[in-house]
Chain A
Amino acid sequence: DGGITQSPKYLFRKEGQNVTLSCEQNLNHDAMYWYRQDPGQGLRLIYYSQIVNDFQKGDIAEGYSVSREKKESFPLTVTSAQKNPTAFYLCASTGFTEAFFGQGTRLTVV
């Protein structure tokens, strides 16, 4: 079945560490997105990519980095510069109309 796979489901980060969240899709979509979700704040766009080897900052890109070396993959790195990384992270891809979402990764700073 086609879909989006995020891993891991739960991730714990120590202060000062970089961590990478994985997102893979087999829907043959060109565009992929990373959103951050905090209670009461909806979904905020971190980065998006509309084509391989190209990506743009979203509304809250500071402290995050991405790469898009393959159409199927759009990993997100949460760097030590992100001062409040504890959140639920959602990856999505879009076809001609709607977006399809992964099941999310819950990142917690310990």
Chain B
Amino acid sequence: AQSVTQLGSHVSVSEGALVLLRCNYSSSVPPYLFWYVQYPNQGLQLLLKYTSAATLVKGINGFEAEFKKSETSFHLTKPSAHMSDAAEYFCAVRNSGGSNYKLTFGKGTLLTVNP
């Protein structure tokens, strides 16, 4: 079984400040890990993914995440928040092997950016 825990259902930062959204996972096999972003009344858009290559992954819109196996973490960061980053962010995990591509999602973190 696999699971994802996102610490903090709501994170608020000032424009220009560091963004840090936390994600811890549980998986019995080597995982693939993902961060998605969702704007109101829209579907989910992939920000970045870890698929067992480099542990530091760069994504769109200046976001990056680091896979830390010893900490079972995959935290999302951005050095300087922009107003357009305000959205809900979801961390997800799936097994890296086999044919079961089912994703398990965290409960999401709503990011607010204050001017």
Chain A residues at the B interface, C-beta cutoff of 8 Å: 4, 6, 31, 33, 35, 40-43, 45, 48, 50, 88, 90, 92, 94, 96-104, 106
What is the interface residue range for chain B against chain A?
A: 20 to 34
Asked if B102 and A104 make an inter-chain contact with CB atoms under 8 angstroms apart, the answer reads: no
Given known contacts A43-B90, A94-B101, A104 and B42 CB-to-CB distance under 8 angstroms = yes
Q: Is the CB of A106 within 8 A of B49?
A: no
B104 nearest CB neighbor, chain A only: A45
Q: Which residues of B contact A33 (CB under 8 A)?
A: 102-103
Q: Is the C-beta of B75 less than 8 angstroms from some C-beta in chain A?
A: no
A83 shortest CB reach to chain B, Å:
22
Subset of 19 A-B contacts with CB under 8 Å: A4-B43, A6-B43, A31-B101, A33-B102, A40-B9, A40-B108, A41-B107, A42-B90, A43-B90, A43-B105, A50-B101, A88-B41, A94-B103, A96-B101, A97-B51, A101-B45, A102-B43, A103-B43, A104-B42
CB distance from B53 to the nearest CB of A (A): 11
Q: B29 within 8 Å of A by Cβ?
A: no
Knowing A50-B99, A97-B32, A98-B34, the reply to whether A42 touches B105 (Cβ < 8 A) is yes
Secondary structure class of chain A's binding surface, majority of residues: strand
Which A residues touch B100, using CB under 8 A?
A: 50
Chain A residues with CB below 8 A from B45, complex form:
101
On whether the beta carbons of A98 and B46 are closer than 8 Å, the reply is: yes
- B66 nearest CB across to chain A (Å): 18
Residues of A contacting B105 in the complex (Cβ-Cβ under 8 angstroms)? 35, 42-43
Q: How near does chain B come to A1, taking the closest CB pair, in angstroms? A: 14
Interface string of B39-75 (1 = CB under 8 A from A): 0011111100101000000000000000000000000
